Amino acid sequence: MLQELLSEHKIILGSQSPRRRNLLKGLDIDFESCTIDADESFDPNMDYHEVPEYLANKKSHDFSKELSKNEILITADTVVILKDMILNKPQNRAEAIDMLTLLSGEEHKVVTGVCIRSSDKTRLFQDQTRVRFHKLTTEEICYYIDRYQPFDKAGSYGIQEWIGYVAIKEMIGCFYNVMGLPLPKLYRELKNFIND
């Protein structure tokens, strides 16, 4: 069991996202959380599939102190990829409307990169989920944005909110990955990380 493997370790979740904190609680492991103020910029010429792991690793190394021998830091970053575009967090209402208009009736990928790091090793991995939206009206898009204010979410939406109930036509892959933390994969990667 992962809980037994972690009994001699202190887990730190480097995230300001309440969703990621709640998700990690679901694994029944003890952890502390902290906010990491990381620059989330990346080279626009980078392969967009590499961006989530790159940003998760960047957040990990922006952690404010050195890790002690028994500490394990987990950081993550989620992006929405539509065709050859990365849709990150919207800066304002107009940008959020534009993003959801682009996603309407289309299939996109949600990719979460995760970094697990201790004082002596690092493991990077990612998970991908394919999501297809029903066609949305402008009225539906504006209703969601004005009521739920999804400005802290990649692609301007949270699958666990109203829009997830009405807009998701099809999904292939991990639901929790779309929320921001691929729990089944993280569980196994943590076990491998400790056993290596």
Identify which of 34-38, 65-69, 121-125 has the greatest average pLDDT. 121-125
Q: What's the predicted TM-score (pTM) here? A: 0.94
**Residues annotated as catalytic (active site), given as ranges:** 77
The count of domains in the chain is 1
- What is the CATH classification number for the domain harbouring 178? 3.90.950.10
- Provide the residue range defining the domain that includes 169: 2-195
Residues 6+ apart with CB under 8 A from 171: 129, 130, 131, 132, 178
What pLDDT digit, counting tens, does each position of 55-105 carry? 999 999 999 888 999 999 999 999 999 998 999 899 999 999 999 999 999
| pLDDT category of residue 5 using cuts at 50, 70 and 90 | confident
What pLDDT is recorded for position 123? 97
Task: Give Rg (Cα) of the chain.
Answer: 17
What pLDDT is recorded for position 67? 93
Instruction: Say how many residues make up the chain.
Output: 196
